[in-house]
Amino acid sequence: MIEKYEKIIGEDELYGLVKIAEKLKDFSILHVNSTRAGGGVAEILNRMVPLMRDLGLNVDWKVIRGDNEFFRVTKSFHNSLQNGYGELPPNAFETYEKWQEINASEIPLDYDIIMIHDPQPLGLIKFRKKGKWIFRCHIDISNPYAPVWEFLKKKIENYDSMIISTPAFARDDVNIPQFIIPPSIDPLSIKNQPIPEITVKRILYKYGIDTERPLVVQISRFDYAKDPIGVIKSFKLAKEHIDGLQLAYVGSPATDDPEGEEVYEKTVKEAGDDKDIHLLMLPPYSDLEINAFQTGASVVLQKSIKEGFGLTVSEAMWKKKVVIGGRTGGIPLQIIHGITGYLVDNIEGAAHYIIHTLKNPEISQKIGENAHEHVKNNFLITRHMREYMSVMLYVTGRNEEMKSPTLQ
């Protein structure tokens, strides 16, 4: 399967992947996260783990479990780390520790290299048996709520290294090596491969979209950080200037996000009785449908007010779409304003660039082409795997010549 990527990345890049993997073949490797489906982390692991195995690596992936109380706690951690303030459930730290112990008794931790994804399973480090541990933090920790950060930082400092998505997330109060590795998309996945126009039209028609009229799309969970209400307000402003404009906000449930239903209900209320606003909740693994919405979009939004990276930005850019994104987290790594898309800070800015994109097709076509090249050069899964494997070589000492990109 890995050979199929040669036509995209070239023979030299593929050869480099194979050579790095050869140095890791006698190690056992484990990825741990909190959900098998829903959100960017699970999506990356669903694609990356089979590719790593295809390179000959001994790789497993385990998912922790927890009850509703545990996931309410971890969601409150997530929000407080990204927003800088906290509203924690009662006995939050005790609940968190209880489920770390339960999961440590159920998940084998005797691997040579363990990569822990995000705070939900972070506390498993207390039950370390052997090997090197890497904390892969996908979220924005640049301005965290102090009580939660201090609680988690004590655990982080027992790791051998930490990976963040953008320099803005670096911490000068963590005394372990920090590596900057942005996430990625898989260009050969069902979500990102070219699909026939007739398939796009069939799927959009199924969900009530008129393919003869312009369409604004945002692909996101129903999450306050993704600002679905702001998306609707931006759309309504733009609709005053663009005849027949439609909006599709396409979400899917995540098992580790208990707030989704509450946010969905508020978004429905904001949409009101506007028949041109389509709020969709697709089941997990609806990759073909998401591809169709991104491919069929006239313009794509990712109007996040907080974001770890925002893989949907690169997905749409790969399809040569103009993406209007919030100026937060990893989105500015992907969107170079006015060159590969547009960055905005408010509802009015998003509406302005929706109108600008739709009224200037030649400029929009050029930006779409630039966007595709930017993703090809920076945000594909093959680059992502190479950098993960390089960190594994570093923490194991297998590559003695590799210099640590520790942030000073």
Per-residue pLDDT tens over the stretch 293-313? 999 999 999 999 999 999 999
Per-residue pLDDT tens over the stretch 200-249? 999 999 999 999 999 999 999 999 999 999 999 999 999 999 999 999 99
Q: In what side-by-side order are the strands of the sheet with 132-136?
A: 58-63, 28-33, 113-117, 132-136, 161-164, 178-180
Structure tokens at 84: 């800088």
List CB contacts of 400: < 8 A, sequence separation 6 or more. Answer: none
Confidence (pLDDT) at 257: 72
How far apart CA 48 and CA 51 sit, in angstroms, is 5
Q: Residue 143: what residue type? A: N
What percent of the chain shows pLDDT beyond 70?
97
Per-residue pLDDT tens over the stretch 151-194? 999 999 999 999 999 999 999 999 999 999 999 999 999 999 99
Confidence (pLDDT) at 37: 83
Cβ pair 325, 335 in contact under 8 A: yes
- Closest to 124 measured CA to CA, from 99, 149, 150: 99
pLDDT at 394 over 90: yes
* Beta strand ranges found along 89-232 (DSSP E): 113-117, 132-136, 161-164, 178-180, 215-219
Cβ pair 152, 86 in contact under 8 A: no
Confidence (pLDDT) at 407: 39
Q: Which CATH code fits 2-184+380-396?
A: 3.40.50.2000
Q: What is the DSSP letter of 86?
A: -
Whole-number Cα distances in Å, 218 to 57, 232, 312, 372, 401: 36, 10, 8, 18, 44
Whole-number Cα distances in Å, 276 to 28, 242, 271, 289: 51, 12, 9, 19
Confidence (pLDDT) at 258: 74
- Closest to 42 measured CA to CA, from 257, 347, 349, 259: 257
Residue ranges of the chain that CATH labels 3.40.50.2000: 2-184+380-396, 197-379
- Model confidence at 284, pLDDT cuts 50, 70, 90, reads confident
Summary mean pLDDT of the chain: 95
Per-residue pLDDT tens over the stretch 235-278? 999 999 999 999 999 998 766 677 888 999 999 999 999 999 99
Query: 284: helix, coil or strand?
Result: coil
Size of the chain, expressed as the number of residues it contains: 408
Does domain 197-379 fall into CATH 3.40.50.2000? yes
- Model confidence at 406, pLDDT cuts 50, 70, 90, reads very low
Query: 154: helix, coil or strand?
Result: helix
How far apart CA 124 and CA 142 sit, in angstroms, is 23
Helical ranges in 226-310 per DSSP H: 228-239, 260-271, 287-296
How far apart CA 212 and CA 295 sit, in angstroms, is 14
Confidence (pLDDT) at 253: 73
Confidence (pLDDT) at 271: 97
- Closest to 120 measured CA to CA, from 56, 198, 42: 42
Average pLDDT over every residue of 333-337: 98
Whole-number Cα distances in Å, 252 to 17, 35, 63, 264, 352: 33, 13, 19, 11, 28
Structure tokens at 157: 């400092």
Confidence (pLDDT) at 401: 47
How far apart CA 220 and CA 322 sit, in angstroms, is 17
- Closest to 144 measured CA to CA, from 330, 306, 302, 334: 306
Confidence (pLDDT) at 261: 86
* Beta strand ranges found along 7-145 (DSSP E): 28-33, 58-63, 113-117, 132-136
Confidence (pLDDT) at 404: 46
CB atoms within 10 A of CB 44: 25
Confidence (pLDDT) at 379: 97
Per-residue pLDDT tens over the stretch 36-69? 987 889 999 999 999 999 999 999 999 999 999 9
Per-residue pLDDT tens over the stretch 97-120? 999 999 999 999 999 999 999 999
Confidence (pLDDT) at 405: 45
**What residues pair up with 251 in beta bridges, in sequence order?**
281
Confidence (pLDDT) at 256: 66
Per-residue pLDDT tens over the stretch 179-191? 999 999 999 999 9
How far apart CA 136 and CA 138 sit, in angstroms, is 6
